[in-house]
Structure 1
Amino acid sequence: MKYKQRKKALILLADGTIFYGKSIGKEGSAFGEVCFNTGTTGYQEIFTDPSYYGQLMVTTNAHIGNYGTKEADVESDSVKIAGLICKNFSFEYSRPGADMSLEDFFEKHNTLAISDVDTRALVSYIRDNGAMNAVISTEVDKIDELKAQLAEVPSMVGLELSSKVSTKEPYYFGDENATYKIAALDLGIKKNILRNLAARDAYIKVFPYNSKFEDLEAFNPDGYFLSNGPGDPEPLSDAIALAKEIISRDKPLFGICLGHQVIALANGISTYKMHHGHRGINHPVMNLVTGKGEITSQNHGFAINREETEAHNDIEITHVHLNDDTVAGIKMKNKNCFSVQYHPEAGPGPNDAVYLFDQFIENIQK
């Protein structure tokens, strides 16, 4: 590879802390909440996951880009992270099945990325001080201007982002002659969720984030699904009202991540912003129903209130996160409804939890 002259770049955190690195190619600035993912693989799926919309992603794996990108591995139609921060960026790749380099992929999607950053120090800082807004920039001589712009970026608390990533019009996925019909609310849905449902003999109609119950009901579905997505769940008043309506009619309902939080809010359980969230592909979860442990893929910065969940007469906690005892799954005792705070479809990650899709189909069959 020919040597390229690369511009100096920086990360400026909301509290004024600065880390330095080098630009990958694209110049300029990108703003968002800085967070980190500990996965050792699956960077393309992470970058295209709608749940990461508006976030500057720090990857803790030392090498990013070494196996290029492949069209089949995307989780949505575009890169959703606000920008990438990494240690070593591979301009060359060695994967026979790859379509293009990560550099070209970022250029195609107009994504700002910086490397040669001390990511260990940066991640340690986030772990100690919490996730916060930040800017990555090649304009290293404009610190005061960047600080002023950064001060204008809204906090993730109270921020509704599903409208930024949800489909504008309903669409279908799977075989129209499948046994089951599922109405899915797109709060920022991943393609691998749709693949998993379709693989279980389901035909899915995907609806915009603010759809009403009547819209979904007109499809005459056998079950309802609330997807993952970005931002604070509390502003999603339409989705919360929809969940309440589905629950009141005792229709089969399954929620993942943001969908899980929406189901909790529909039951009067509050949510809160976590200190730095869970993002990675090796998070340990205990299934309290089976007594078995699961290694899971996770990506969330909000969680549901455990004390309120335990005190709720109609809710049973089914899964807990073993690192911090946060609620990782619930089910309603008197309704056909359950949800989890992690990604059973993985993409990337292990397949320990794919049984949850089977459980949803079994609930529909009942």
Structure 2
Amino acid sequence: MRTQVVIIGGGPSGLLLSQLLHRKGIDTVVLERKTRDYVLGRIRAGILEVGFVDLMREAGVGARLDRESHIHDGTVIAYEDQEFRIDFKEMTGSHVVVYGQTEVTRDLYDAREAMDGKVVFNAEGVTIHEADGDAPYVTYEKDGSTHRIDCEFIAGCDGFHGVSRQTIPLDVRREYEKLYPFGWLGVLSETPPVHDELIYSGSERGFALCSMRNENLSRYYVQCSLSDTPEDWSDDAFWTELKRRIPSKYAEALVTGASIEKSIAPLRSFVTEPMRWGRLFLCGDAAHIVPPTGAKGLNTAASDVHYLYNGLVQHYHDGDSHGIDTYSEKALARIWKAERFSWTTTNLLHRFPDQSEFDLKMQLADVNFLRDNVNAQKVFAENYIGLPY
């Protein structure tokens, strides 16, 4: 088989890149290790920057998103029992959109099927060959046979544990990482959200987040130990702890119910450089990870897609390689700013095991400065709604 671009990874970034290129007449094949149902079963973030929404529209898959999503013009920051609101609309003239990653992925799969896009599921043992040469190709195993795809470029959208980053030699890539000494226990419940905007809450017991997917589907998180498992937390224990970490007026209004999904995610900040090696380009989690504080994970993948998509279109339509030659530099410049925002927001509201009394006073001072300073709120809002591409 031959194609112009092989895309490794059938998550939202790989599918979005494929759909965008398809509409520009650039042929792609997407390789996904799992099944469609497995990919759609993963519960992920649901806060989208306007830039991501615009890419979905450009890809021709924005209709349901526009119809069913919820616009958020601000967010609530709480610390113990005090709270204040940061008004995105007032500070930036813009907003964010609430629409689950599962729904984004479903829309993209439906679009690829409608256009007869080439998606190979259950592609095992994917291996990248000759990425640093002029004739790259990819092999994979399926149904007991080895298959080969010759191509011109490879986009690695296969996540942190995928093959793409590992293909770049160790003497070429450099990795930067910070591991946090806690995780997030997340619960999905068929209950109405406690508030019509997100609540980021710090307390002496640790961090909590009140989020949502729609009017009857809520997503809540509490900071927890890395040694915990979901089985350690009954639903009653989770709701009791959540109420202790959010302002009392929200705790009293909280509607609880049986969890329909419960999981623990460790927190990590990670970046690899460069994001290009020869004809291989890294996108999304294959190149970088952010803590979920600040909702940047899926949105940083979207910015990568923006730069790579436009670079490839420029290459194929205009014969100009500037876009792909500067892809890594442009993508990383924005990624490090998103990493900074996620890191600072995580430090603002979480409890760390080695914090001294002085550290806690400084953390409270940071919260109060954000509460009282309009310029600090504007900076927060600009980062939250998404820096320009």
Scaled to the shorter chain, the TM-score interval is under 0.3
Between Structure 1 and Structure 2, which shows a larger proportion of helix residues?
Answer: 2
Calculate the TM-score normalised by the size of structure 2.
0.23
